[in-house]
Amino acid sequence: MYWLDTKTGVSHLIDIQTPATFLQTMNDLEITPVDKGDGNPSGQTPQILGGLSQIVQTGTPGEVAHYNIMPVFDIYASNEGIDLGRVSREVGRIVDEVRPDLPRGSALAVRGQAVTMNSAYVQLLGGLAMSVLLVYLLIVVNFQSWLDPFIIITALPGALAGISWSLFLTHTTLSVPALTGAIMCMGTATANAILVVSFARERLEEHGDAIAAAIEAGFERIRPVLMTASAMIIGMLPMSLSNSQNAPLGKAVMGGLLVATVATLLFVPCVFAMLHNRKKPTSTTEEGEGA
């Protein structure tokens, strides 16, 4: 309503509000008195709002959100008591079930930390595979051989198995720090395997016995391999025992190196002996034909 100031001749807009304490129920709103606004000179009783109009409740959104200019309805959810990966899988299953029933022109999309986590997993798994491939090609260039680098990387499956077992036994979920620790573990496991295989190659060139060379390499290189792995494991111990978000990294590195060390000292020499022992009869036959 407007109020006219007779002294200045200016009309002022006036909004009348009822305090929220007097409007707790719908009945309170309906019995709100309403008069004609003329000060009630005729002495008539003011009417109530419920008698002048029909009041109906209608729902309106408390927030209007847009994404890429399009109007959207955001449904926020967080995980409690379970890991984010399981929540992401359950939400994805529900989304796949509901998507065929969406109205025409509507779309359903999942955004948030789950999408970022899945993208990081794909990139880290790709980086893990790429690191193994690059390590193999680098060793091929240094050793001038395709066979010995293959023997070296046979210790890496043991490292991956150790990482999986360490996370399983400590009830640690797979995460980005754990995958980062797996990539770190690949380098140390490869370095230890190189120590064993390079020494075995030297002994093989001296006496030509692949089995003896493998045994000597496993025995002679046990000390440097254990020292390298122990230094890495001890260094990761405080991190793995902490409550920080990097604890999975330390657990992954420790578990991977424990199994990779055993594989380096026992499994890698066996693979070296088997593969190089198969080459021995061929070379002997060629010498006989040349003679």
In a domain, 170, yes or no: yes
Task: Name the 3-class secondary structure at 268.
Answer: helix
User: Interior CA angle at 88 toward 86 and 94, to 5°?
Assistant: 105
Share of the chain above pLDDT 90, in %: 0
In a domain, 156, yes or no: yes
Q: What local confidence, expressed as pLDDT, does residue 40 receive?
A: 55
In a domain, 80, yes or no: no
Instruction: With a cut of 80, say whether residue 129 has pLDDT above it.
Output: yes
In a domain, 97, yes or no: no
Closest by Cα among 235, 233, 137, 135 to 193: 135
Domain carrying residue 261 = 138-290
* Mean local confidence (pLDDT), 119-123: 83
In a domain, 102, yes or no: no
173-221 residue pLDDT tens: 777 788 888 888 888 888 888 888 888 888 888 887 888 888 888 888 8
Specify the range with the lowest mean pLDDT, choosing from 112-116, 133-137, 275-279.
275-279
| pLDDT range class, residue 290, cuts 50, 70, 90 | very low
In a domain, 226, yes or no: yes
Q: What is the CATH number of the domain that holds 168?
A: 1.20.1640.10
In a domain, 286, yes or no: yes
230-282 residue pLDDT tens: 888 888 888 888 877 788 888 888 988 888 888 888 888 888 888 887 655 54
Distance (Å, rounded) from C-alpha 220 to C-alpha 274? 19
Distance (Å, rounded) from C-alpha 218 to C-alpha 225? 10
What DSSP string runs through 67-97? ETTEEE-------SSS-HHHHHHHHHHHHHH
| pLDDT range class, residue 44, cuts 50, 70, 90 | low
Domains of the chain: total: 1
Instruction: With a cut of 50, say whether residue 283 has pLDDT above it.
Output: no
